[in-house]
Amino acid sequence: MATEPENIVIKRGGSTIQPLGKNASSSDNSTNPQPTTSENKRIPRTSKSSQPPAKSPVENTRQIKIIAITMLLFSVLLLIALISYTSKDEANAELTFHDIMGIFRGDDAIRAKVDTTQNWLGLVGAVISNLLYNYTIGFSAITLPFVIGLWAKHLFVTQSIPPRVIKLTGTALILGTLLAGLMGTFQLVSWLPTFPGEWSGAVGQFIAAIFSDLIGKIGSFLVISVGILVTLVLGTGLDMDKLYLKLRLLYGKLQDYIAHGIEKYRAWRSSDKVENDTEQIDTTIPQPSTTTDLRDDEPARIVRRVAEQTSAKDLTTNSPIHQRELQIRRPEENISHNQPLEKSTHAINNDEETERAPFKPMTTHLDLPPQPSAIKQKADEVIDNQKVIVDVPEIQKTLTLTVEERLPSKDDIEIVPEVNVLDEEIVYTSPMLSLLTEQHVKEVTVDDAELKENARLLEEKLETFKISIENLTVTPGPVVTQYEFVPASGIKISQIENLSDDIALALKAKGIRIIAPIPGRGTVGIEIPNHNPSVVLFSSIIKSPKFHDNNNRLPLALGKTISGEVYCTDLAKMPHLLIAGSTGSGKSVGINTLIASLLYKMHPHDLKFVIIDPKKVEMALYGLLKKHFLAISPDVDETIITSPANAVLVLKSVVAEMERRYDVLASVGQRNVVDYNQKVAEGKYKETTNYVHRPLPYIVVVIDELADLMLTAGRDVEEPITRLAQLARAIGIHLIVATQRPSVNVITGIIKANFPARLAYQVASKIDSRTILDMGGADQLLGNGDMLFLPGGSPKPIRVQNSFISTDEVEAICTHIGNQVGYSMPYMLPSVSDKKQSGKGDVNGGDGRDVLFEEAANIVIQHQQGSVSLLQRRLKIGYSRAARVMDELEAAGIVGAFDGSKARAVLLESASELEAYL
- DSSP bridge partners of 524: 485
pLDDT, tens digit, 9 for 90 and up, residues 116-145: 888 898 888 888 998 899 889 888 899 999
Q: Are residues 861 and 822 part of one domain? A: no
Res 118: pLDDT:
87
Q: Are residues 199 and 92 part of one domain? A: yes
Q: How many domains does the chain have?
A: 7
pLDDT, tens digit, 9 for 90 and up, residues 331-366: 344 434 444 434 333 333 444 333 444 444 444 444
pTM, 2 dp:
0.50
Res 702: pLDDT:
96
Which of 803, 833, 863 represents a domain boundary (last residue)? 833
pLDDT, tens digit, 9 for 90 and up, residues 819-862: 998 888 889 999 886 544 444 444 455 456 888 888 899 898 88
| Domain contains 21 | yes
Give CA angle at 795 (735, 512), nearest 5°.
100
pLDDT, tens digit, 9 for 90 and up, residues 528-539: 888 888 888 999
Largest Cα–Cα distance of the chain, in whole Å?
147
| Domain contains 550 | no
Burial of residue 211 (CB within 10 Å: 0-12, 13-18, 19+) is buried
Q: Are residues 849 and 748 part of one domain? A: no
Q: Are residues 694 and 587 part of one domain? A: yes
| Domain contains 886 | yes
Cβ pair 836, 634 in contact under 8 A: no
Res 51: pLDDT:
52
pLDDT, tens digit, 9 for 90 and up, residues 560-578: 998 888 999 999 999 999 9
C-alpha closest to that of 746 among 784, 716, 711, 712: 711
Res 387: pLDDT:
42
pLDDT, tens digit, 9 for 90 and up, residues 847-902: 568 888 888 998 988 888 888 888 988 888 878 788 888 888 888 888 888 777 77
Q: What is the 3-state secondary structure (H, E, C) of 180-191?
A: HHHHHHHHHCCC
- The sign of the CA dihedral 306, 310, 316, 317 is negative
Q: What is the 3-state secondary structure (H, E, C) of 540-572?
A: HHHCCHHHHCCCCCCEEEEEEECCCCEEEEEHH
| Domain contains 536 | no
Q: Are residues 744 and 666 part of one domain? A: yes
Q: Are residues 236 and 255 part of one domain? A: no
DSSP helix, strand, coil percent of the chain (3-state; round to 5): 45, 15, 40
Cβ pair 187, 199 in contact under 8 A: yes
Query: Which residues fall within 8 angstroms of residue 591, CB to CB, at 6 or more apart?
Result: 579, 618, 619, 702, 704, 736, 738
Q: Residue 34's pLDDT band (boundaries 50, 70, 90)? A: very low
Residues 558 and 464: their CA atoms lie apart, in Å, by: 39
C-alpha closest to that of 197 among 152, 277, 138, 245: 138
Residues 224 and 616: their CA atoms lie apart, in Å, by: 49
Give CA angle at 899 (894, 903), nearest 5°.
65
Q: Are residues 326 and 269 part of one domain? A: no
- The sign of the CA dihedral 460, 461, 464, 468 is negative
**Letter string b/e over residues 570-599, b meaning 16 or more CB atoms within 10 A of that residue's CB:** ebbebbbbbbbbbeebbbbbbbbbbbbbbb
pLDDT, tens digit, 9 for 90 and up, residues 376-407: 344 344 434 444 444 444 444 444 444 444 44
Report which residue type is found at 501. D
Q: What is the pLDDT averaged over residues 612-635? A: 91
pLDDT, tens digit, 9 for 90 and up, residues 217-244: 899 989 999 998 888 888 877 767 667 7
C-alpha separations of 390 from 275, 282, 329, 387, 426 in Å: 19, 7, 16, 10, 62
Cβ pair 228, 175 in contact under 8 A: yes
Range of the domain at 452: 448-529
Q: Are residues 612 and 520 part of one domain? A: no
Report which residue type is found at 238. L
Q: Residue 431: is the preceding peptide bond cis (ω within 30°)?
A: no
Res 272: pLDDT:
61
User: What CATH number is attached to the domain comprising 514?
Assistant: 3.30.980.40
- DSSP bridge partners of 526: 483, 514
C-alpha closest to that of 312 among 375, 377, 394, 402: 394
482 three-class SS: strand
Q: Are residues 798 and 881 part of one domain? A: no
Q: Are residues 668 and 598 part of one domain? A: yes
Which of 386, 409, 432 represents a domain boundary (last residue)? 409
Cβ pair 729, 662 in contact under 8 A: no
Give CA angle at 422 (417, 424), nearest 5°.
80
Res 787: pLDDT:
93
| Domain contains 698 | yes
| Domain contains 432 | no
Q: Are residues 619 and 516 part of one domain? A: no
Residue 709 CB coordination number (10 Å): 25
Residues 628 and 817: their CA atoms lie apart, in Å, by: 8
Query: Which residues fall within 8 angstroms of residue 223, CB to CB, at 6 or more apart?
Result: 211, 215
Q: Are residues 900 and 852 part of one domain? A: yes
Cβ pair 400, 300 in contact under 8 A: yes
**Residue 464 pLDDT more than 80?**
yes
| Domain contains 804 | yes
User: What CATH number is attached to the domain comprising 762?
Assistant: 3.40.50.300
